[in-house]
């Protein structure tokens, strides 16, 4: 799964928002589904706005079931 980091305030944990477009079966329209996942980032290298790839893993805590595999794109930082 690919998503955007929305929070990096926790230690070794980031919150990632994943957006999917799903086709509705009855009318054929596309709707946007969004979900937030807590993911493990071992070295705290990703920050808010970065696009990352997630992979499912064993339960790491009460809410964490995902790991950050790689950083796809850095967020633009304004000075």
Any bridge partners for residue 40, and if so which?
13, 67
With a CB cutoff of 8 Å and minimum separation 6, the contacts of 63 are 38
Q: For the chain, give the number of residues.
A: 79
pTM for this model (two decimals): 0.85
Instruction: Note the pLDDT tens digit of each residue in 43-53.
Output: 999 999 999 99
Domains contained in the chain, CATH given: 2-73 (2.40.50.140)
Q: What pLDDT sits at residue 78?
A: 64
Question: How buried is 18 (Cβ within 10 angstroms: 0-12 exposed, 13-18 middle, 19+ buried)?
Answer: middle
């Amino acid at each position: 799964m690919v998503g955007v980091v929305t929070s990096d305030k926790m230690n070794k944990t980031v919150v990632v928002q994943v957006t999917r477009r799903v086709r509705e079966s009855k009318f054929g329209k596309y709707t946007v589904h969004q979900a937030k996942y807590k993911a493990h980032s071992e070295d705290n290298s990703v920050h808010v706005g970065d696009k990352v790839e997630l992979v499912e893993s064993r339960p790491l805590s009460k809410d964490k079931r995902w790991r950050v595999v790689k950083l796809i794109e850095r967020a633009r930082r304004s000075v």
